[in-house]
Amino acid sequence: MVSLAIFSGNRVDGSMLYRGERFFGLALFGGLDLDLTSAPAELEVTIVAIFGGAKVRVRPDEEVMFDGFSLFGGRSIEPRRQQPPPTGSQQARAGDDVGAALPLEILAYSLFGGVSVKRGQSWISRLKQSFS
């Protein structure tokens, strides 16, 4: 899926994406809001922000691989919430990654722009709560 925000703004709900799909977003003098809290697993996301900005929202417990570069811009990711220390039986299984889900890959490139990854609820959930 491709989302272009050129002198405009786009809001994309991750439930429209398919498992294993690649998402490319361009924010050129515009803004992109990508909500991946309800997205399927194993996505590859590439965001380019040129004189624009992009916000990506992921689930609080999701493993994220965040890579890319910034030139006169910025990239940021909120750290994962602190996990409880593993117990003895969990330590034994820690090396066994057979059933582990692949992390979400986010490649973020910014030129005089910014890309931020935040953890939490989807904007739809927050909107529903505000009307309740």
Q: Is residue 97 part of a domain?
A: no
| Domain annotation covers residue 93 | no
pTM of the model: 0.74
| Residue 90 falls inside a structural domain | no
pLDDT digits (tens, 9 = 90+) for 85-124: 555 554 544 444 555 667 888 999 999 999 999 988 766 6
The span from the first CA to the last CA of the chain, in angstroms, equals 33
> Number of structural domains, the chain?
1
Give the range of the structural domain holding residue 125, as residue numbers without chain letter: 2-80+102-131
Nearest alpha-carbon partner for 118 in 59, 52, 50, 65: 59
Asked whether residue 40 is assigned to any structural domain, the reply reads: yes
Q: Confirm whether 94 is domain-assigned.
A: no
Model confidence band, residue 39 (pLDDT cutoffs 50, 70, 90): confident
